[in-house]
Amino acid sequence: MTQTHAPVLTQDGRPLKASLARALRRDKLRAFLLIAPLLAFVLLTFAAPIADMLFRSVENGIVADTLPRTVAALEGWEPATGELPDEPVYAALVEDLKEAVAAKTHTRLGTRLNYELSGMSSLFRKAGRSVQKIEGDDVKAQMIAEDAGWGDIQVWSTVKRLSPRYTPSYFLAAVDAKQTEAGVAFLPERERIYLMLFGRTLSMSIVITLACLVLGYPVAFLLAHLPLRTSNLLMILVLLPFWTSLLVRTSAWKVLLQQQGVINDILVWIGLIGDNARLVMMNNQTGTIIAMTHILLPFMILPLYSVMKTISPSYVRAAKSLGANDWTAFWRVYFPQSVPGIGAGAVLVFILAIGYYITPELVGGTSGIFISNRIAFHISSSLNWGLAAALGTLLLLAVMILFVVYDKIVGIDNVKLG
Amino acid sequence: MTNLPPYASTGQRLWHYGFLAICVAIFFFLIFPILVIVPLSFNAEDFFTFTRKMLALDPDGYSFKHYRDFFTNPDWQQALTNSFLIAPVATLLATGLGTVAAVGLSQSHVPYRGAIMAILISPMIVPLIISAAGMYFFYSRIGLQGTYWGVVLAHAVLGTPFVIITVTATLVGFDRSLVRAAASMGANPLTTFFKVQMPLILPGVVSGALFAFITSFDEVVVVLFLGSAAQKTLPWQMFTGLREQISPTILAVASIMVALSILLLSVLELLRRRSERLRGMTPG
């Protein structure tokens, strides 16, 4: 009886508990060692770049790095007083500018400040040329004489506002707002483009998701109820577009939707529209919606199909045997069981739609583009990388929220392909 | 759904055939745009629509000139070569790392499994433009922007989620006692993996590799930002061709790529049947 409290030992004399714990530790370590290479790879080549981009949306070292003395001298100055900064600030600015001109960094600073106040870019370029001439005392008067811009209190308050190393200004710009002396203010109605673009991206993604649902549900239903041999055959019609290059499908739609394209030709030929009244179906929202619905439809059908496959037909039969008509049996019994599939497909399609770039770029024209297209524009054309990063961060946030929702509905482990 | 009972009312019949008609229309919507470009690619004119001669099935209306252009134009050939230089290497990287990690993830004791999975899947979820932007900034800093390896690494990381997902899915049906049996007969873990586990999960690995390959082969956003002119791939060439008023050669390229996807689909279907046979099911 006293023996019961002694630890159970394994054959080699260790306590069983310790031995098991050791085995478990070894298992965990082995699993981790297998995962580690990929984890490191993803963190290095993917997560780090994303983190870098997030950082770029608030990073603002350029003013402090290019004009260190000015920033220090501006410390005691308050734009609210309505007075221009004193002589020492101007002296510091001239010294900073001389260095910046030698390092050729003043134009970049001007470009950066121009995002906040137009005219800054040329002000700095001009100062770069004239600053060498300024010597002796009374620098303030000389500067203002060279360019009246230096006597503008708005210029100085912009410089001061952007002196900190981190700035919310890109995020404010991404939601069409701006920091002014009076605090944060939205831009005038007609200058607001990003809120409108975010809104359009969301609303068009919703339309595309709904279109996919309306078209995908009947097809998934049919596929799930046909005998396996037939449904596998028909499944090819869904999988072929799924496996066909995105660019091939986009070019196909470009060919079909053109004003001199196949669809318009057919409509003219059967006499539905006149030759001079050809429909404009491309380079607008219609084009984007049609092409993207086609491209994302398989992503709706496949999850719907895999859920419908698991719904036992006996429930519907039971409902009918209890007197339900076809519609009631479907709506009250079958449909609720297919809702998880709808959730999975809809969230997946929505996540994919909201970040689309290629298709809107090619068939969207100006009215059918998404926020992604604007991000690309700021990276490759306008070079306002901070704003691109801020817009990207907001888009990423939206996708991450959806990703969590998707994880709750489907579980990331249960994503199935093909 | 498929067969109507003989006692069905007229309304039920109407609805039944109406439903079938709707489905046929949707299937048509899915497949028509892909197939219509194939005959158009043989157009003898530089048009994007059927000419009168084509509709009359006049042989003069058809020609191989767009295909000839694709196979002789150095721009397209360079792009094709680049695609075949980049995609296989990215596929190898993604498949190797992804398969090993999926085997690790399938073990019974993995701490923080959910979080790790979320990180590993994220390249598939994050919008491509964001991945491209982040990589563009970051790879510029470390000198990978505009290089072959920059594009390969980026394509590899975009392909890994597909490998993880497909291999994990095959591992779900994997009988762990086989590993124990092999070990009890004296096989070391490496032998067990290559002789026992690998042949059984091979279909998953191959379809994961196909996904990774097509991800790289079809990817355009990241390569536009990360690549330089020397890494111009086939999709890049198509994209620029489509943006600046389209050249009919694109239709020939597109048709070739449709043929490629049909080939791919057949390989996948064969794999699916094989894995079902291995699990003792009769392939449907």
CA distance B247 to B239: 11
Query: Which residues, numbered 114 to 143 in chain B, qualify as contacts with chain A under a Cβ-Cβ cut-off of 8 Å?
Result: 114, 116-123, 125-139, 141
d(CA B107, CA B160): 19
**Element at A25 (helix H, strand E):** helix A16-42
Flag whether B262 is in a domain.
no
What separation in angstroms does the CA of A67 have from each of A93, A95, A133, B89, B265? 7, 9, 19, 47, 60
**Helix, coil or strand: residue A408:** helix
pLDDT of the residue at B284: 43
The answer as to whether B68 is a domain residue is no
The tokens for B222 are 């990241």
* Burial class of residue B273 in the structure, from the number of CB atoms within 10 Å of its CB (0-12 exposed, 13-18 middle, 19+ buried): middle
- Cβ <8 Å between A41 and B15: no
Radius of gyration of chain A (CA): 32
Higher pLDDT, A10 or B184: B184
Size of interface A-B (CB pairs under 8 A): 285
Poorest-confidence range of A50-54, A114-118, A240-244, B52-56?
B52-56
Amino acid (1-letter code) at residue B13:
R
Ordered by start, the domain boundaries in chain A are 27-56, 61-167, 194-414
Angstrom distance (rounded) from CA A293 to CA A325 = 33
- B209 and B114 part of one domain: yes
Determine contact, residues A392/B128, Cβ cutoff 8 Å.
Answer: no
Q: Token pair of B223, please? A: 């390569």
Tell whether B37 is within 8 A of chain A (Cβ): yes
Calpha distance A284→A58 (Å, rounded): 34
Domain shared by B125 and B211, yes or no:
yes
Question: Chain B partners of A250 at a C-beta cutoff of 8 Å?
Answer: 242
Query: Is the domain of B161 the same as that of B94?
Result: yes
Q: Is A328 in the B-facing interface, judged by CB distances under 8 Å?
A: no
Of A411, A221, A237, which is closest to residue A306 (Cα–Cα)?
A221
**Nearest CB to B261 within list A31, A232, A240:** A240
* Domain total in chain B: 2
As a whole number of angstroms, the distance between CA A49 and CA B137 comes to 7
Q: Rounded to a whole number, what is the distance in Å from the CA of B135 to chain A's nearest CA?
A: 5
> Is B111 within 8 Å of A385 when comparing Cβ atoms?
no
How many whole angstroms separate alpha carbon B27 and alpha carbon A235? 10
| Gap between the Cα atoms of A51 and B241, Å rounded | 33
Residue B5, in any domain of the structure: no
Structure token pair of residue B124: 């598939």
B128–A250 CB contact, under 8 Å: no
Tell me: do B176 and B235 sit in the same domain: yes
Determine contact, residues A166/A58, Cβ cutoff 8 Å: yes
Q: Is residue B52 part of a domain?
A: yes
Q: For chain B, say whether A275 makes contact (Cβ under 8 Å).
A: no
* Selected residues 38-97 of chain A with any CB under 8 Å from a CB in chain B: 38-39, 41-43, 45-53, 56
Helix (H) or strand (E) holding A183: strand A183-186
Task: Say if residues A20 and B104 touch (Cβ distance below 8 Å).
Answer: no
The CA distance from A322 to A342, in Å, is: 27
* Domain CATH for B179: 1.10.3720.10
CB B134 to CB A294 under 8 A?
Answer: no
Domain presence at residue B69:
no
Domain that holds residue B53: 10-61
pLDDT tens by residue, A94-147 = 888 888 888 888 888 888 888 888 888 888 888 888 888 887 778 888 888 888
B108 and B49 inside one domain: no
Q: Does B76 touch chain A (CB under 8 A)?
A: no
Prediction pTM value: 0.87
Tokens 């048009």, residue located: B47
Q: How many CB atoms lie within 10 A of CB A174?
A: 27
- Top residue of A52, A55, A225, A248 to mutate, by most chain B CBs within 10 Å, is A248
3-state secondary structure chain B: CCCCCCCCCHHHHHHHHHHHHHHHHHHHHHHHHHHHHHHHCCECCCCCCCCHHHHCCCHHHECCHHHHHHHHCHHHHHHHHHHHHHHHHHHHHHHHHHHHHHHHHCCCCCCCHHHHHHHHHHHHHCCHHHHHHHHHHHHHHCCCCCCHHHHHHHHHHHHHHHHHHHHHHHHHCCCCHHHHHHHHCCCCHHHHHHHHHHHHHHHHHHHHHHHHHHHHHCCCHHHHHHCCHHHCCHHHHHHHHHHCCCCCHHHHHHHHHHHHHHHHHHHHHHHHHHHHHHCCCCCC
User: Does the pLDDT value for residue A42 go beyond 90?
Assistant: yes
In this structure, is residue B264 part of a structural domain? no
Interface membership of B2 toward A (CB under 8 Å): yes
Phi-psi region of A7 (alpha: psi -120 to 50; beta: other; left: phi over 0): beta
pLDDT at B281: 57
Asked if B14 has any chain A CB less than 8 Å from its own CB, the reply is: no
| Distance separating alpha carbons of residues A418 and B19, to the nearest angstrom | 25
CA–CA distance, A180 with A249 (Å, rounded to integer):
47
The whole-number pLDDT of residue B33 equals 93
- Tell me whether residue B189 is in a domain: yes
How far is it, in rounded angstroms, from Cα B176 to Cα B191?
A: 15
Q: Does domain A194-414 have CATH number 1.10.150.390?
A: no
Identity of the residue in A225, A237, A261 whose CB atom sits nearest the CB atom of B30: A237
Distance from CA of A228 to the nearest CA of B (A): 6
Give the model's pLDDT for residue A266: 87
B4 domain residue, yes or no: no
The answer to whether residues B47 and B115 belong to one domain is: no
B36 vs A: CB within 8 A: yes
Chain B residues touching residue A222 (CB < 8 angstroms):
1, 19-20, 23
**Does B8 touch chain A if contact means CB atoms closer than 8 Å?**
no
Minimal CA–CA distance to A123: which of A115, A135, A111, A134? A111
CA–CA dist B192, B103 (Å, integer): 13
Using only the alpha carbons of chain B, give its radius of gyration: 24
Q: Residue A376: its chain B contacts at CB < 8 A?
A: 129, 132-133, 221
Residue A405: exposure state from Cβ atoms within 10 A (0-12, 13-18, ≥19): middle
Tokens of A180: 């002014």
Q: Does B10 reach chain A within 8 Å, measured CB to CB?
A: no
pLDDT (tens place) for every residue of chain B, 284 residues total:
556 778 888 888 999 999 999 999 999 999 999 999 899 899 888 877 788 788 878 888 888 988 998 999 999 999 999 999 999 999 999 999 999 999 999 887 888 888 899 899 999 999 999 999 999 999 999 999 999 999 999 999 999 999 999 998 888 878 888 888 998 998 888 888 888 888 888 888 998 999 999 999 999 999 999 998 899 999 999 999 888 777 788 999 999 999 988 988 888 888 877 777 776 655 44
pLDDT in tens, A307-362: 999 999 899 999 999 999 889 999 999 999 999 999 999 999 999 999 999 999 99
What residues of A are in contact with residue B114 (Cβ under 8 Å)? Answer: 412
